[in-house]
Chains A and B, each alone.
Chain A
Amino acid sequence: MYAVFRKELADHISSMRFIILFLLVFLSAMFAIYIAIQTIRSVVGPTTEFIFLKLFTTSGENLPSFLFFLSLFIPIVGIALGFDAVNSERSSGNLSRLMSQPIYRDSVINGKFIAGLTVLGIMILGVVLIVAGLGLRIVGVPPNGEEVVRVLAFVAVSIVYGGFWMALAVLFSVFFKRTATSMLASLAVWIFFFFFLTVIVGAVANAVAPVDANSSIEMIVRNATLEGSLARISPCTLYGEAIVALLTPEVGSVNPTLLVLSSYSGRMANPLPLMDSLLLIWPQVVTIIALCAICFGTSYIRFMREEVRSI
């Protein structure tokens, strides 16, 4: 497996694809830090804790934050690194040659996946470090220990999230013979979850528990709870909840019901301690890992039983 891993890693890093993706992510990071620096003074008051984390979460008027960019690009990077993992080997005639070597079939998938994950990790960590470094230089507030841990946890969760999209893309690359099909299928899933699911979920929630200006608090809570639970079938939502909880400790919950209540009570929550934040996002992270495992397992089963023909 190590041989596969090394080759794939070298392939990725020397590929045009990697350079384009890195530029894309890098430019968005630059853009985000620019926005953050422009606006950070207006959001930071004398009592603000975790100024350093604000670098990542601050958005300008109508302009998205670094977090938004990252949550947009991680799936794209994950898909881009995985969508042709198996079917490109097949269409180039390499698969039967590869499969006739004394290696287990799963080591091909494993090696490719781990190589992709490594690249993804390098990319995310690199971008986060660039933002952190520039921010440190410009804002001049060093992070405290807790902030460092939170940022690292954020990087880890992001890699897991990217891993899910890569596993999905690999799954499609096993199922579909053409690389274009597997890429489109992965992108379609992503677009569905990222753009459409919120709309659909909102519509469903409003149909089941309609709310208007005169609705009772129970109704509003019901609506929000339903919407929140339904939205959680999307890995995008799970990731969003996890990183918000990690990087904005003031948000005391990822529970949509409680969030609605707290916005009504107008209570300004105290920042959550690190361990509590981690506990809070644990279910989300585990769910993403589980989704990843499902994609992986399915790819395995399919790939193991498959007949490898050269044409």
Chain B
Amino acid sequence: MGQPVVETTDLTKVYDGFTAVDKLNLRIDEGEMFGFLGANGAGKTTTLLMLLGLTEPTSGSVRVGGKDPTREPIEVKRLVGYLPERVGFYEDMTARQNLFYTAELNRIRRAEADERIASLLGTVGLSEVADHPVNTFSRGMKQRLGIADIWVKEPKLAFLDEPTTGIDPNGVDDILKLISDMGKKGITIIFCSHLLPQVQKLCSRVGILAKGQLVADGAIDRLGRDAAGAGRYRMEAEVDAAQPAIVDVIRRVEGVRDVEMTGNVLGITADKDLRGQISRAIIDSGALLVGMRVEEYSLERIYKRYSKEA
């Protein structure tokens, strides 16, 4: 992968004796979609604020795009688009005016800003209400406007803090689509959430934060295997009518560690993907194989496992 765009070393933030972020070491490469997971109060937002220079770390260091956000906040803010949780806009101003204000603060030339804003409002599906005041907008519309708002300055990085909280399922899909488009344009994204399916849909890599510590960091499938049990594969096979004898048949397949039977479903743990061998063993034993699949590493499981650990 490319250069690290975000790098923290022993990043710590203490509020009146309470450690919100505890010696966090994070490295995010250019173009990555990083899912930042954790329960409420785990320290996700605090970490983002430190990355942006909106609050000072108690100790440790941060580099964003090679710059220190405490020392060079303006440089960092030029690179980063931040969508805070519960984003707000100037309610009396229209969507277009709000975006234009952001463009102005970023010193984007007027003509260029006009064009960019018009096309962005189209992208986020707000063209028709572009000149309506924001106080007439729904939560989902505001959130989409928020995404347009960070896009206005064409950032290299986008920090999204719970962008889908409090939005209906259709709205969530729209927003996830926009975020994934953003990622495809090469913008590095940190996506903070506690909503696991969404993170799983978007992110290739996740970090799990619990009580201020990074308890897991890596690709979802690798974390999943670790969570499911020491790097093993889990498979499920469904047969038409399970006989207890079939358990022994499968156990004899080389590489299979454990088999358990619940009704007609056999849960198999193995060292590697043995679907071929197992299916043959089942058919040879005279049973009919109805279905078989490798269990996906659900993020939920990973998450539960690691947050319990902390």
**Which residues of A in the span 91-113 have a Cβ within 8 Å of any Cβ on B?**
92-94, 96-104
Instruction: Tell me if B302 is interfacial: C-beta within 8 Å of chain A.
Output: no
Alpha-carbon distance A217/B146, docked complex (angstroms): 72
Instruction: Tell me if A137 is interfacial: C-beta within 8 Å of chain B.
Output: no
Map CB proximity to B onto A5-27 as digits: 1 under 8 Å, 0 otherwise: 01100010010000000000000
Number of chain B residues close to chain A: CB under 8 A: 31
Check B87 against A310 for contact (C-beta < 8 Å): yes
User: Given contacts A93-B86, A97-B84, A100-B80, are A307 and B54 in contact (CB under 8 A)?
Assistant: yes
Instruction: Tell me if B89 is interfacial: C-beta within 8 Å of chain A.
Output: yes
A to B contact number (C-beta, < 8 Å): 77
Number of chain A residues close to chain B: CB under 8 A: 23
Alpha-carbon distance A169/B75, docked complex (angstroms): 31
Instruction: Tell me if A309 is interfacial: C-beta within 8 Å of chain B.
Output: yes
Check A98 against B105 for contact (C-beta < 8 Å): yes
Chain B residues with CB below 8 A from A96, complex form: 54, 82, 84
Interchain CB contact (< 8 A) of A101 among B77, B87, B90? B77
Instruction: Tell me if A286 is interfacial: C-beta within 8 Å of chain B.
Output: no
Chain B residues with CB below 8 A from A98, complex form: 105
Instruction: Tell me if B7 is interfacial: C-beta within 8 Å of chain A.
Output: no
Interchain CB contact (< 8 A) of B161 among A101, A103, A104, A310? A310
Check B85 against A311 for contact (C-beta < 8 Å): yes
Instruction: Tell me if A308 is interfacial: C-beta within 8 Å of chain B.
Output: yes
Chain A residues with CB below 8 A from B77, complex form: 100-103
Check B55 against A307 for contact (C-beta < 8 Å): yes
Chain A residues with CB below 8 A from B80, complex form: 100
Map CB proximity to A onto B65-93 as digits: 1 under 8 Å, 0 otherwise: 00000000011011011101111111110
Alpha-carbon distance A3/B109, docked complex (angstroms): 12
Smallest Cβ-Cβ distance to A99: which chain B residue: B54
Map CB proximity to A onto B274-305 as digits: 1 under 8 Å, 0 otherwise: 00000000000000000000000000000000
Check A311 against B86 for contact (C-beta < 8 Å): yes
Chain B residues with CB below 8 A from A14, complex form: 92
Interchain CB contact (< 8 A) of A93 among B75, B84, B101? B84
Report B92 CB to chain A, min CB distance, Å: 8
Interchain CB contact (< 8 A) of A100 among B45, B54, B55, B85? B54
Alpha-carbon distance A151/B185, docked complex (angstroms): 61
Check B82 against A103 for contact (C-beta < 8 Å): no
Max count, chain B CB within 10 A of own CB: residue among A3, A11, A97, A104: A97
Chain A residues with CB below 8 A from B247, complex form: none
Instruction: Tell me if B217 is interfacial: C-beta within 8 Å of chain A.
Output: no
Interchain CB contact (< 8 A) of A94 among B82, B85, B88? B88
Secondary structure type dominating chain A contacts: loop
Alpha-carbon distance A265/B300, docked complex (angstroms): 92
Alpha-carbon distance A252/B50, docked complex (angstroms): 60
Max count, chain A CB within 10 A of own CB: residue among B54, B102, B153: B54
Map CB proximity to A onto B86-126 as digits: 1 under 8 Å, 0 otherwise: 11111110000000011011110000000000000000000
Chain A residues with CB below 8 A from B106, complex form: 101-102
Smallest Cβ-Cβ distance to A94: which chain B residue: B88
Instruction: Tell me if B49 is interfacial: C-beta within 8 Å of chain A.
Output: yes
Smallest Cβ-Cβ distance to A7: which chain B residue: B101
Map CB proximity to B onto A298-311 as digits: 1 under 8 Å, 0 otherwise: 00000000011111
Instruction: Tell me if B52 is interfacial: C-beta within 8 Å of chain A.
Output: yes
Max count, chain A CB within 10 A of own CB: residue among B45, B52, B78, B88: B88
Chain A residues with CB below 8 A from B86, complex form: 93, 310-311
Chain B residues with CB below 8 A from A93, complex form: 84, 86-89
- The 7 lowest CB-CB distance pairs between A and B, nearest first, are A93-B88, A310-B84, A100-B82, A307-B55, A3-B104, A96-B84, A101-B105
| B residues apposed to A, CB below 8 Å | 45, 49, 52, 54-55, 74-75, 77-78, 80-82, 84-92, 101-102, 104-107, 146, 149, 153, 161
7 new A-B pairs (CB below 8 Å) besides A102-B78, A104-B74, A307-B49? A11-B90, A93-B84, A93-B86, A93-B88, A96-B82, A101-B77, A102-B77
